Amino acid sequence: MGRSWQNMNHCTRAGGRTPATLALLLSVVSCVAELAWHVEGVTIVGFYSATCPKAETIIQQEVQSRFNSDPTISAALLRMFFHDCFVQGCDASILIDPTPGNTPEKQSGPNLTLRGFDLIDAIKSKLEAECPGIVSCADIIAIATRDAVALVGGPSYEVKTGRFDGKRSRSSDANILPSPDSDVDQASSAFASQGLSLDDLVVLLGAHTTGFARCGFFSDRLYDFQGTGQPDPTMNPALVSRLKGVCPDPASGNSSDPTVFLDQGTRDAFDSSFYSQLQKHNGILRIDQVLQDDSRTSPLVSRFTETDAFFPAFISSITTLGALNLKTAETGEIRLDCRRVNPTTPNPPAIPPSPAQAPASGAPPPRKPSSPPPSRPTTTAPAQPPGSGSPPVKPHKSPSSPPPRRFPRLPLPLPLPPLPLPLPPFRRLSPPANPFNPFP
């Protein structure tokens, strides 16, 4: 619940600097609404508009900077986002590093070739400097992916934010990811297990319009398809011949593993060319080509050869993907370091009593009172000598280290401050003290 309190403090401090109470009112309402959505694990567009208004700009600038030197980062971020959300939901569990006794998702077979972790680290570092403990790593991946898609010519779309980061990452969890060799039955079953439709399957595989794959993921289609000793008959023979000049036969003992563009048309652009290539049987991965060869999915392939059909469908499907299995304040956290779960913070030790409160040397310990102590006094009582029967003085706790608090549910309607502006029918009143600051 750490970020909820930090968000509340940020909101009340921002409102306190506003000269007009109307602005204060709007700021408080915005922040309270933001926190209410966040605690329940629901995302909204513009979640950080009050607590970290520069967040999306910082992410966009970092992605742009990396793209300028490495345009393939767009495909890398798209793949990272899919692999993260498909396993345990969009919770940045894909970023967690191994620890003694735990092998995380990033070390599973399907994820060994993922890239872009260092970019997420760089973005997180900038955001922690701007607004510590506010922006989740899961939201960083989601926003960075959106920006990466736009940089290669894809559609720009709004990203709902407010995700929590997960606290678990297991290599075995990634076994549900569909294999590059999957047929439509296998792939659609995997997608359905995550609440994704057949349309989502065809649309999200369309992200292969940008990026590349290593020969090891499809070389069997060139040399020994399903143990026949022959190429995959569904692959264009001209493409087979061309790829054999790039990818060595695994049986030859040549261990080199070059890369090949997944879209043999426009390659570096995010467009509908991928589907046109499938119609020509130029799909590189089997999971891609079967979309054209299966009667359930081939009509969708035909439809998405038109950019006007593909882009809106892509926005819809990637938004659905980004909402899978969201964590709540109880099941997630805001990682301070995207590569590791936050350490558990013990309660701060109590400050020992002052010498005036401590019993004299050799004096017997104070006796327990015969009746419960009275409620908090309004005046300071004189100090009692040791052994007089007065209750022991409780040690003072540091105001700078408040005990952990659970985020309370705010009652509705909210106790909103009155408006002072001369806008009828409102009356001019003095602004009250801010009632929302949990740490006065």
| Overall average pLDDT of the 254-259 stretch | 93
In this prediction, residue 6 carries a pLDDT of: 47
Q: Which residue has the tokens 């760089």?
A: 122
139 is in an annotated binding site: no
105 is in an annotated binding site: yes
In this prediction, residue 138 carries a pLDDT of: 98
Residue at 59: amino acid letter: I
252 is in an annotated binding site: no
84 is in an annotated binding site: yes
CA distance 306 to 276: 9
CA angle at 83 for the pair 82 and 85, rounded to the nearest 5°? 65
Q: Which fold is adopted by the domain 2-173?
A: Peroxidase; domain 1 (1.10.520)
DSSP 170: -
For 22-49, what is each residue's pLDDT tens digit?
A: 555 555 544 554 444 455 568 999 999 9
| Overall average pLDDT of the 305-326 stretch | 97
89 is in an annotated binding site: yes
In this prediction, residue 31 carries a pLDDT of: 52
Q: What is the DSSP secondary-structure string of 101-145?
A: TB--GGGSGGGTT---HHHHHHHHHHHHHHSTTTS-HHHHHHHHH
For 402-440, what is each residue's pLDDT tens digit?
A: 444 444 444 444 445 454 555 444 443 444 444 333 333
* Domain at 178-305, CATH class: mainly alpha
% the chain with pLDDT above 90: 67
72 is in an annotated binding site: no
Q: At what angle do helices 73-86 and 55-69 cross, to 10 degrees?
A: 130
- Among the options 10, 83, 281, 396, which is catalytic? 83
User: Can 396 be counted among the known catalytic residues?
Assistant: no
209 is in an annotated binding site: yes
263 is in an annotated binding site: yes
Task: Domain ranges for the chain, please list them.
Answer: 2-173, 178-305
